[in-house]
């Protein structure tokens, strides 16, 4: 009993020493970095400007960013710009899909989609740019025909399609479906990575 009591005492003592040390050394769990302004607690995601030919991509990107901020919870998402501490705005510069590879018959096996976005994160009052990202580029590879679809890959299995659907589709139908999925993937990736970069002020 005495040995057990001594062990519990030592455990409590070590914990009481380690935790203050972690806090004193600037240790922090996932969230904002020390570089992030401590007085910014809320954000308004301004509708992005679309400079591409893809109608509606700006609304999809704006909605995805709002969802990501809401899901992560580090900043409160505000519906009115004049009530937020900071405003996030941006421009979708490019959204292109180009041929990445072909087979011996010059049939497209894979496309490479690229999205380029400019982003500004600014304090509302007093007006001040806190972070800016120019020409943020993301790329995604997607299939151009059934032969290029890897139905056993984790990426495919996370989609709503199954291998039977793929066999029933024409290459045109498959390309259009995969195009939409690729677009969603790019937008989701951008939202996650931008949130992380903002929180770290990187």
Structure token pair of residue 131: 């972070």
Q: Please tell me the predicted confidence (pLDDT) of residue 97.
A: 75
The predicted-structure confidence for 32-91, as pLDDT tens digits, reads as follows: 788 999 999 999 999 999 999 989 999 999 999 999 999 999 999 999 999 999 999 999
Minimum mean pLDDT range among 7-16, 88-97, 161-170: 7-16
pTM score of the predicted model: 0.67
pLDDT at 141: 77
For residue range 131-150, what is the model confidence (pLDDT) as tens digits?
Answer: 999 999 998 877 655 444 43
Residue 173: C-alpha distances to residues 97, 166, 180, 181 (Å): 16, 9, 11, 12
What average pLDDT score do residues 3-15 get? 44
Would the pLDDT of 16 be above 60?
A: no
Question: Which positions ≥6 away from 125 have C-beta within 8 Å?
Answer: none
């Amino acid at each position: 009993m005495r040995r057990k009591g001594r062990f519990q005492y030592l455990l409590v003592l070590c914990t009481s020493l380690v935790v203050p040390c972690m806090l004193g050394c600037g240790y922090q769990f996932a969230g904002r970095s020390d570089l992030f302004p401590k007085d910014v607690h809320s954000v308004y995601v301004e509708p992005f400007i679309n400079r591409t030919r893809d109608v509606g991509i700006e609304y999809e990107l704006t909605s995805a960013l709002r969802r990501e901020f809401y899901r992560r919870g580090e900043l409160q998402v505000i519906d009115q710009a004049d009530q937020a501490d900071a405003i996030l705005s941006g421009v979708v510069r490019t959204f292109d899909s180009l041929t990445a590879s072909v087979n011996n018959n010059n049939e497209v096996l894979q496309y490479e989609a690229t999205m380029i976005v400019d982003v500004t994160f600014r304090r509302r009052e007093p007006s001040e740019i806190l972070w800016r990202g120019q020409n943020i580029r993301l790329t995604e590879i997607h299939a151009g025909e059934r032969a290029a679809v890897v139905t056993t890959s984790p990426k495919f299995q996370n989609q709503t399609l199954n291998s039977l659907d793929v066999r029933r589709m024409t290459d045109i139908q498959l390309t259009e479906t995969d195009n939409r999925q690729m677009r969603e993937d790019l937008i989701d990736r951008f939202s996650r990575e931008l949130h992380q970069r903002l929180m770290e002020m990187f």
